[in-house]
Amino acid sequence: MPPAITIERHILETQRAYPGATGDFSALLYDIAFAAKIISSSVNKAGLVDIMGLTGDENVQGELVQKLDELANNTIYKALDHTGRLCCMASEENEGIIEIPQRFKCGKYVLAFDPLDGSSNIDANVSIGTIFSIFHKVSSAERGTLEDCLQQGRKQVAGGYIIYGSSTMMVYTAGNGVHGFTLDPSIGEFLLSHPNIKTPQRGNIYSCNEGNYAKWENGIQKYIDYVKTPDKASGRPYKSRYIGSLVADFHRNLLYGGIFLYPPDKSNPLGKLRLLYEANPLAFIVEQAGGAASDGQQDILDKTARELHERTPLYIGSYEDVRDIESFLNGTRS
């Protein structure tokens, strides 16, 4: 039996390729994995909240009654605020940047995250996830500033997600391939289960909220009509798969091949998803896996956010499929 490779060992072995590395970055990834284990344990107990509430145990009830996305947000913050590795954080749950308390040292990295994406699915036991992105601090300020958060996607040092599904997995890239780890709950360790993930150049799955079809621009409607039109030679019709939980939809398509779309529509002119902590890290992962991510005009990683919660249209997945949708959007195909 080959030796089990823990996420810690994998991160440390990768670090050896960078002789000047201080270990801060490795430790930061490991801190995120630690927070993910705590969140995973809370997510797995989500259905028990009411049952346990009946016992009248204030402690347990007090902890579990906290909304899970709030709990996930606090867990990540508390796992990282004191480490001296971050200069600031940005979260979907906080309007402004999250400062590192004055009593703690400031570090050289920035963390942007969506603590619990798709959390409206929790009550139905549907997979949800945490998404994160890491940048270097670039401002000359003593502590982190907005400038440190609003960097071009290509400047990311790492991007990743944790999926709380039938098992819990952490998938990340630091620019040297995409690696996936599955949590073994019996020993509390993430073990390398998906080394060097590559996504098919073309898939046969499309994932979108097709209920919005009538609100989409013509190019998107035509693309959707196209993938549904049978043509055996090019593998159409595509299969429609939509969970409504970005991490879960993205993860499935990454492994099987396909495209995820969240286009703009009349009520959301920039779409729904956020550039900094949803689109950017997944775009980094998909490019490293051989796929592509676009907003219809340009690659997601070429964009620079102008505000923390900036939204972006998102077309992400297999390379050929993303280029197809761009050609429908720019009118070279119809």
What is the contact surface with ligand AHM in residues (CB under 6 A)?
92, 114, 117-119, 209, 244-246, 272
Task: Tell me how far, at minimum, the Cβ of 314 lies from ligand AHM, in Å.
Answer: 9
Q: Which is nearer to ligand AHM, 85 or 272 (CB)?
A: 272
Exactly one of 93, 117, 321, 326 binds Mg ion (CB under 5 A); that residue is 117
Cα torsion for 223, 228, 233, 239, to the nearest 10°? 110
Binds 272: which of Mg ion, ligand AHM, none (CB < 5-8 Å by kind): ligand AHM
Sign of the C-alpha dihedral computed for residues 240, 243, 246 and 252 taken in this order: negative
Q: How far is CA 308 from CA 96, 139, 276, in A?
A: 7, 16, 7
Closest by CA to 8, choosing from 192, 171, 145, is 192
Q: CB of 268 within 8 A of CB of 311? A: yes
| Separation between Cα atoms, residue 69 and residue 274, nearest integer Å | 16
Least Å distance between CB 109 and ligand AHM?
23
User: And the tokens for 124?
Assistant: 């139905």
Q: Indicate the residue among 112 and 157 with the shorter CB distance to ligand AHM.
A: 112
The 50-79 contact track toward Mg ion, x by CB under 5 A, reads ------------------------------
Per partner kind, with CB cut-offs from 5 to 8 A, the member of ligand AHM, Mg ion, none near residue 97 is: none
Residue 71 half-sphere exposure toward CB, CA atoms < 13 A? 18
In sequence order, what are the residues at sequence separation of 6 or more whose Cβ sits closer than 8 angstroms to the Cβ of residue 44? 164
Least Å distance between CB 276 and ligand AHM? Answer: 12
- Print burial letters for 75-103: b (CB count within 10 Å at least 16), e (below 16): bbbebbbebebbbbbbbbbeeebbebeee
Residue 326 contact, options ligand AHM, Mg ion, none, Cβ 5-8 Å cut-off depending on partner type? none
Report how far residue 37's alpha carbon sits from residue 71's, in angstroms, rounded to the nearest whole number: 13
Q: How many residues bind Mg ion (CB under 5 A)?
A: 2
* Residue nearest to Mg ion according to CB distances in the complex: 117
- The least distance separating ligand AHM from the CB of residue 83, rounded to whole angstroms, comes to 26
Q: Which is nearer to ligand AHM, 170 or 279 (CB)?
A: 279
Q: Report which secondary-structure segment, H or E, holds 240.
A: strand 239-240
Residue 11 or 122 having the CB closest to ligand AHM: 122
Minimum CB separation of residue 313 from ligand AHM in Å reads: 13
Minimum distance from residue 13 beta carbon to ligand AHM (Å): 33
Of residues 97 through 116, those in contact with Mg ion by CB under 5 A are 114
Angle at 124 between CA 123 and CA 128, to 5 degrees: 80
Residue 11 or 247: which CB sits closer to ligand AHM?
Answer: 247
| Smallest distance, Mg ion to C-beta of residue 117, A | 4
Cα dihedral 188, 157, 154, 105 sign? positive
Sign of CA dihedral 164, 168, 171, 172: positive
User: Given the complex with ligand AHM, which of 37 and 272 has the nearer CB atom?
Assistant: 272
Question: Smaller CB distance to ligand AHM: residue 189 or 321?
Answer: 321
* Site for Mg ion, rule CB under 5 A: 114, 117
